[in-house]
Amino acid sequence: MGLRMRSQIIGTGAYAPKQVLTNGDLEQMVETSDAWIVERTGIRERRKAAPGEACSDLGVQASQQALSSAKIQASDLDLIVLATCTGDSPLPSTASLIQYRIGADRAAAFDISAACCGFLFALSVADAFIRSGQYRYVLVVGAEIMSVVTDWTDRNTCVLFGDGAGAVVVGPTEGDRGVLSIHLHADGQLSDLICVPGGGSSIPASESMLADRLQYVKMRGNETFKIAVKTMEEAVREALAAENLSVQDIDFLLPHQANIRILKAVAQRLSLPFHKVIMNLDRFGNTSAASIPLALDEAVRAGQILPGSLIVLAAFGSGLTWASGVVRW
């Protein structure tokens, strides 16, 4: 192992369920309109898992694509880290189910819960294991079935979320490309901004919990918007400063796909031209931990991201959590 060992993304994969749920479909379900949803969020459609299609099903598909793209076998993997807040069940970890189904018989596996920041938190774990020399190949997956925690009677939140999965294979490199740094933050004082209150040990499943609809995402939208813009801008600036880079050095900003108004506000505050922001939320909505790897896979396969591209990743989410990273592709 050389002195400058770092991790590099060597393969990407993604999967989205077949069913498309358009704004027109939502107009039939709640009092809303396509024009309002597009103006407020930038989302035109999102994907919805089929009945019986679980988080692990999406994760397996994305993982197999990422392995194929990385040109390694599942048996080469040392570790699988899954970021999700909508796992198949409380026990066991959904990462263990993916590990078995893809045939990664040597790999350890666990889940990480950091909501929309989950992928960056998971990538940082992979990066640390590889930098330390303990592991060689790590599969990082972000997979979500947000439709199961979405209250389809709440017009403020049901327009936002979608289902999907993205995955990357991370391996060692001694070159100057790869994951340069990742920065993670949390502030539990703001835990009630975005939360699913019921279903855990605090408010266990019960008839009254279900009657109060506490198994669904609750969000304080206006406050979340302000804090999202502030934390994402700060996170991007922190990541750049750590690498002695400036906004002008960014080839692409790949943010968590939450809302077009948040992304535009962040770009504006950074004085970053909006064409440098990678975005697919118009087609997938907010897929939580899946959003960054899903958009990354698309951008790589479309030839948008090229070798040498400098990419800044940024996210915020429930926790409250926020995070950023710099990757030289």
256 assigned to active site: yes
Active site residue: 23, 55, 85, 116, which one?
116
116 assigned to active site: yes
The string of DSSP letters for 105-171 reads: TT-EEEEE--GGGHHHHHHHHHHHHHHHTS-S-EEEEEEEEGGGS--TT-TTTTTTB-EEEEEEEEE
Active site residue: 55, 85, 256, 259, which one?
256
CA dist., res. 256 & res. 311, Å (int): 13
CB-neighbour burial class of residue 133 (10 A; exposed 0-12, middle 13-18, buried 19+): exposed
Distance of CA 221 to the CA centre of its chain: 19
Number of H helices, E strands in the chain: 10, 13
CA dist., res. 286 & res. 295, Å (int): 11
CA angle 188, 194, 196 (to 5 degrees): 100
CB-neighbour burial class of residue 301 (10 A; exposed 0-12, middle 13-18, buried 19+): middle
Q: Could you give the 3-state DSSP secondary structure of residue 43?
A: coil
Question: What backbone torsions phi and psi does residue 280 show, to the nearest 5 degrees?
Answer: -135, 15
Residue 209, amino acid? M
CA dist., res. 255 & res. 265, Å (int): 12
Active site residue: 23, 259, 280, 286, which one?
286
**Which residue matches tokens 């991201």?**
305
Residues catalogued as catalytic: 116, 256, 286
